[in-house]
Amino acid sequence: MKLERETSADGRFVRQPNRFTARIEEGGEHPPEPGRYQIYASYACPWAQRALIVRELLGLQEVVGVTIVDPIRDERGWRVPGGDPVTGAEFLSELYLASDPGYRGRYTVPCVWDRTAERLVTNDYPQITLTLETAFAPWHAEGAPDLYPEPLRERIDALNDAVFHGLNNGVYKAGFATSQEAYDEAVTGVFATLGMLEERLSDGRPYLHGEALTESDVRTYTTLARFDAVYHSHFKCAIRRLVDHPALWAYARRLYAIPAFRDTTDFDHIKRHYYVTQTNINPTGIVPQGPDIDWTAP
């Protein structure tokens, strides 16, 4: 499948807006309830892995369901291996079109299906993790971390915004650029953001906001996990590797040691999705071997 790119006339990547942006909230059309919602996710996708990590960290496995799609897409979009046990759908596109028959965009993960309303509630990936952290608070496991504490929200939001533009979406702006100017601008922003994070972590703090794990760490990790395996070569973010940033590399391994991060990180899915699916960047579909790095090193 040739990935549909969102590129401006001057060669800059422009991400597709999220079509479904309803909220799961008390008093609304979609109230939080155990067993009512199903997340559709891919281990390959950094935006989707965020939701998988948060669901595990907060102990919501029996409260919010998950369906994992195949990492390889075709013209019908993400495939559900064996068919979805919740809806019977074989492709994620069926859920999008059932919710909006006129939908013509890409069928993205993560997205959330409301079993009661029988429609998609949201594919607004930044909001999905915040919803799990706030609307589903009554069902958090005992001892679960507060990933979005009220006293830190302003600082978390500010750092998340910088990380999104410079790093999370920045690697895509570099990888899908179709002009040298757009690429140079994007890749410079990627490594400026990595430098900012390296400096922030160089004071010995274990996490981005100090001693406690937060939403910012989840959002940063999913890009770091893919950096050397995919973004460094496939997206041409080749100035330095993650392992060339001592504090960031130690931080990434520290997060990987946490089961919710490690168990949702599938390097085989990640590499096959990017290298096989994005034939506009890698027309041969060859999946490279490596990199030979040890994520379990202390």
The residues annotated with a catalytic role in the active site are: 45, 172
Nearest to 55 by CA among 142, 159, 144: 144
Which residue has 């990017």 as its token pair? 274
Asked if the bond preceding 259 is cis, omega within 30° of 0, the reply is no
For residue 292, with 0-12 CB atoms within 10 Å meaning exposed, 13-18 middle and 19 or more buried, which class applies? exposed
Where do the H-state alpha helices sit in 145-278? 153-163, 170-175, 180-201, 215-226, 246-256, 259-262, 267-272
Q: Is the four-CA dihedral 106, 108, 112, 114 of positive or negative sign? A: positive
